[in-house]
Amino acid sequence: MVGKILNYGSINIDEFFTVPHICKSGETLSSSSYTMRAGGKGANQSAALAKAGGKIYHAGKIGKDALWVRDYMSEQGIDMSLTKLAEDENNGRALIQVSQETGDNAIMLFPGTNGTYDPKEFDGLLSQFGPGDWIVQQNEISKGGEMMRLAADKGLSVLFNPAPLTRGILDSFPFDKVSVLVVNEHEAEDLCREFGGNVSLSSSTGLEIAGELFNRFKTMQGVVVTLGGEGVVGKFRDQGEIRDFEVPSRKVPVKDTTGAGDTFVGYFLAGLVRSEAKTYFERVHNALEEANLAASIAVQREGSMVSVPTLAEVEEAKKRQ
């Protein structure tokens, strides 16, 4: 039976501003367009998990100003029964600049309801999950470390995407409970610095940085480092064997990178959970390839949650490769 996936994650209202370039200190820019959409790293990853075929439950907090976001997420195939209304709080928001020159973005976060999680609720949230199931977490919500520890102790496997990566994160989250760590190249470098490592993007390959993290956290099944336009690398262990993975990226026109990382996380875990490949390493390889392909589709579209492709679109793209 395919395991269930619980996403204990953020729900934001995303406000997008298209600008000539990312605003510099002291600079005032005019935006050529403005859009408001559903978002948040947690919500985006849940949408990707659902579109990729995962059985996904989202445990979040929303404000009255975001009831439409809850409805929209339900329409994407996400079970929202574990998401609660925070009556007296404004919903979390992200103000996102998108550069017309490069498609890159800069994001400012207001936590709002994402900072109101209560550990007293955790046992109830986890009551329908157990061994064989997964929990997905990011670093946009409060009390994440406590939830991670409790979920792992109940037998859930943990996928952790520690974004945004904040100073002191090693003290906030029990990394020894993480099954699979997914980071981008900059987060990987910063995380290495957090525990005193001396690797850097200028002097180390992505696989070397993945190896540094993998060797540091010896209880993890695997570490994945996404490299943007250069693809993705990973290092995984199974039954005493360790294997490296390198998946190159497709060269595509980039419109907006906002939702690419979340698309990757959702498609990777959904692919890993539903894969029928005979060996664990085959399942990992297939999931990495599919997630990388899905992310390459997402960057060709504007927005975050709305940019996540359907599984049918990803399957069609596979045929064209």
| pLDDT tens string 253-310 | 998 888 899 999 999 999 999 998 999 999 999 999 999 999 999 999 988 899 999 9
Residue 89 neighbours by CB under 8 Å, 6+ apart: 61, 63, 112, 113, 116
Residue whose C-alpha is closest to residue 299's, from 265, 266, 264: 264
CA distances from 15 to 78, 92, 128, 160, 309 (A): 22, 11, 34, 25, 21
pLDDT reported for residue 203: 64
Give me the phi and psi of 41, to 5 degrees please: -60, -40
- Annotated ligand binding at 133? The verdict is no
CA distances from 144 to 34, 112, 228, 250, 282 (A): 32, 15, 26, 34, 31
Kindly tell me if the per-residue pLDDT of 172 is higher than 80: yes
**Cα–Cα distance for residue pair 94/16, rounded to 1 Å:** 8
Residue spans of the domains in the chain: they are 5-320
Average pLDDT, stretch 214-231?
Answer: 93
CB atoms within 10 A of CB 310: 14
The two tokens of residue 138 are: 């990011």
- Annotated ligand binding at 286? The verdict is no
Q: What is the DSSP letter of 184?
A: E
pLDDT reported for residue 32: 95
Q: CATH number for the 5-320 domain, one of 3.30.70.1350, 3.40.1190.20, 2.40.30.10, 3.30.930.10?
A: 3.40.1190.20
- Annotated ligand binding at 301? The verdict is yes
Q: What kind and span of H or E run contains 104?
A: none
Residue 69 pLDDT class (50, 70, 90 cuts): very high
Reported for 171-174, long-range contacts at CB under 8 A and 24+ positions apart, including other chains, are 172/139, 172/144, 172/145, 173/139, 173/144, 173/145, 173/148, 174/145, 174/148, 174/149
Residue whose C-alpha is closest to residue 222's, from 160, 152, 131: 160
- Annotated ligand binding at 246? The verdict is no
pLDDT reported for residue 258: 83
For residues 58 and 9, is the Cβ–Cβ distance under 8 A?
Answer: yes
- Annotated ligand binding at 62? The verdict is no
pLDDT reported for residue 304: 85
Q: Which residues are designated catalytic?
A: 262
Give me the phi and psi of 159, to 5 degrees please: -105, 125
Residue 229 pLDDT class (50, 70, 90 cuts): confident
Lowest mean pLDDT among 42-46, 158-162, 273-277: 273-277
Residue 152 pLDDT class (50, 70, 90 cuts): very high
**Cα–Cα distance for residue pair 211/223, rounded to 1 Å:** 8
Residue 201 pLDDT class (50, 70, 90 cuts): low
**Cα–Cα distance for residue pair 166/41, rounded to 1 Å:** 15
**Cα–Cα distance for residue pair 21/175, rounded to 1 Å:** 36
Give me the phi and psi of 98, to 5 degrees please: -120, 120
